[in-house]
Amino acid sequence: MSSIKSGRLHLVVPSLLGDRRWSIKILELMKILFVKNIQFTRLIKSDGRLREFNFRKLGGLQEGQFSIDVADERGNRLLFKMIKEDQNWKIMDSNDLPDWVTRSASMLHDKIEEVMTANMPEQEEQQQ
């Protein structure tokens, strides 16, 4: 039992007294900003093996940071972040990562750019 009239949402809700009487609460419509969550998985050949890289965008479309995880040979998850610097996606703190991950940085960059360019038209439409 709800209706929208002249920018207001009229809701009929039960009274707090617990009886059968109804009271009407009027709530102002609010503008809600939706931030699209971007996460995807890509299979990338690295060090002679096909590996599953999981990507998660941090901070919405405008922010330049991705969290990435991949399994090593023993099944342990390797977690690292990539940031966008000078139009290139670069691995942050690559000291603790195996060489096959750091050598895959250019392929990871390409996959991120592929997904980001596919999602940008949607972002521009939402802002209008």
Check residue 29 and give its pLDDT.
58
Question: Which mean pLDDT values do the consecutive 10-residue runs of the chain (128 residues) have?
Answer: 47 51 51 78 94 90 84 94 92 90 95 88 50
Check residue 36 and give its pLDDT.
75
The DSSP string of 18-71 is SSS-EEEEEEE----------EEEEEEEETTEEEEEEEEESSSSSS-EEEEEEE
